[in-house]
Amino acid sequence: MASGRKDGRILIYGHDTFGLGHLRRCRAIAHSLVERFKNLSVLILSGSPIIGSFDFRARVDFVRIPGVIKLRNGEYTSLNLHLDIEQMLSMRASLIRHTAEIFDPDIFIVDKEPVGLRGEVLETLEMLKKRGTRLVLGLRDVMDEPRLLVPEWERKNVLPALRDIYDEIWIYGLPQICKPLEGISLPLSVRQKMVYTGYLHREVPTDGAPPRLPEITRSPYLLVTTGGGGDGESLVEWVLRAYEHDPLLPYPALFVLGPFMQPERQAEFLDRAARLKRVDMITFHSHLETLVAGAAGVVAMGGYNTFCEVLSLDKRALIVPRTAPRLEQYIRTSRATALGLVNMLADDGRYDGAAMAAALRQMPRQNRPSAVVVPGLLEGLPNVSRLVAPWIEKSQEAALPQSRTHSA
């Protein structure tokens, strides 16, 4: 690290091939850290094509690396450029390493993918290890069921990085709800690096100009959110059928379709919504926390960020988790339902409007998450700050002039 430097620096990597999960989690952590440490700068490396649509606090910035997208066959391809995937990954790896070399972070946090997309961050990890940078892997509360995660990690050769490179493994959840590495054979040295932080608390943004809200939010409303929207068509279809079946459901509905939903499906849904008096739809909103905070209830798929917002803003929620290609959402939702934090409606593939309408009619009588006491549930961000503090403060102390001692 640069000698004599008075500021702390944290670099965060999220590969972001699709969806908003990595980006929104990294952004929440970055904003919390710069609020806690006044001499800290945080730089986010992201492949998200819409990262520029979000607001960032002072001392938080991002480097947008070229985007890739995962195809249905599991292969990756360039999102916008006419480059083959090997050229694209080589370019991304070079940009990641060069950024890390110049930025020279005290701490490097890698989100979810231990060696990055197709190993693109491994060289950077090895370079920073030699420099003495604190290396952290951040995992959400659920990865996938072990029978799928084990072969995936074997294929990606993850274990050597966990064992030999990373200093800590932070899990943004609680073991009494989910254990993301349960059922995986890991050496004791790796398990000793694991720290459960609790879930990452979310707040309604107060800085900057207040976002423009749809007219429907002037009265109590139901928020239907699909996250990025790339896999949210079934949820939208099912809830829309419920309003077509029963136009007098307890609340009008605001749908946020998500920026990655197929344009033709967006157009179809918007056309159907226009025929319903108590339904409104938008594609994207950069302050989703504001929409969650104003809602009487939330219908969602149960991704990590939406789950954190439901808990943080104490909202009644009906979760319809996807079960493919991962069981992540189903595992999280079933555990939370067992605790009484949310209600779950299983996706049966039929999307019967009457069944969804019946579930929505139950929502006003549902308990709020705060009715259940789970110690440490939302302590994730304060705990991340505590974990970061020794390394940020150490770098700042190293920059102070050393007082000389004189012998008598």
Residues 302-349: tens digit of each pLDDT:
999 999 999 999 999 999 999 888 899 999 999 999 999 999 999 999
Is residue 179 located within the same domain as residue 220? no
Task: Express each pLDDT in 250-302 by its tens digit.
Answer: 999 999 999 989 999 999 999 999 999 999 999 999 889 999 999 999 999 99
How high is the pLDDT of residue 326? Answer: 85
Grade residue 156 by pLDDT with cuts at 50, 70 and 90.
very high
Residue 391 and residue 350 share a domain: no
Residue 401 has pLDDT above 70, yes or no: no
pLDDT at 30 over 50: yes
- Domain membership of residue 407 (yes or no) is no
Q: How many domains does the chain have?
A: 2
Question: How far is residue 266's CA from residue 264's CA, in Å, rounded to a whole number?
Answer: 5
Q: Is the pLDDT of residue 88 over 60?
A: yes
Helix (H) or strand (E) holding 318: strand 317-319
Same domain, 330 and 394: no
Res 4: pLDDT: 60
Asked whether residue 147 carries a pLDDT value surpassing 80, the answer given is yes
Claim to verify: residue 185 and residue 322 sit in the same structural domain: no
> CB-hemisphere CA count at 13 Å for 383?
18
pLDDT of residue 406: 37
Question: Is the residue at 207 inside a domain?
Answer: no
What angle do the packed helices 122-131 and 85-103 form, to 10 degrees?
20
188 and 295 in a single domain? The answer is no
Q: Determine the structural domain holding residue 157 and report its residue range.
A: 8-201+378-398
Cis peptide before 247 (omega within 30 of 0): no
Is 140 inside a domain boundary?
A: yes
Considering the domain architecture, whether residues 263 and 330 belong to the same structural domain is answered as yes
| Interior angle at CA 190, CA 180 and CA 42, nearest 5 | 75
| Residue 169 in tokens | 């493994």
Q: What average pLDDT does this structure show over 198-220?
A: 87
| 16-20, 100-104, 266-270, 361-365: segment of lowest average pLDDT | 16-20
Instruction: State residue 28's pLDDT score.
Output: 96
Return the bridge partners of 256, or none: 225, 282
Instruction: Inform me whether the pLDDT recorded for 73 exceeds 70.
Output: no
Closest CA to 183 of 151, 158, 211: 151
273 and 389 inside one domain:
no
Claim to verify: residue 55 and residue 117 sit in the same structural domain: yes
* Mean pLDDT score, 381-398: 86
Give residue 159's pLDDT band: very low, low, confident or very high (50, 70, 90).
very high
Lowest-pLDDT range of 31-45, 198-212, 264-278, 346-360: 198-212
| Residue 376 exposure: Cα atoms within 13 Å on the Cβ side | 13
Cβ atoms 177, 339 nearer than 8 A = yes
pLDDT of residue 74: 60
Query: H or E segment at 30?
Result: helix 21-36
Regarding whether 382 and 365 lie in a shared domain, the answer is no
Average of per-residue pLDDT values in the chain: 91
Q: Is the pLDDT of residue 245 over 80?
A: yes
- Domain presence at residue 404: no
d(CA 168, CA 165): 9
Comparing 400 with 228, the larger pLDDT belongs to: 228
Nearest-angstrom CA–CA distance, 125 and 109: 10
More confident residue, 168 or 47: 168
- Same domain for 348 and 394? no
CATH code at 315? 3.40.50.2000
Same-domain check for residues 177 and 280: no
* 363 found inside a domain: yes
Residue 108 belongs to some domain of the structure: yes
- Which one is predicted more confidently, 351 or 208? 351
**In whole angstroms, what is the distance from residue 223 CA to residue 369 CA?**
17
Are 133 and 255 in the same domain? no
Q: Is the pLDDT of residue 408 over 50?
A: no
Q: Binning pLDDT at 50, 70 and 90, where does residue 407 land? A: very low
- pLDDT of 210 > 90? The answer is no
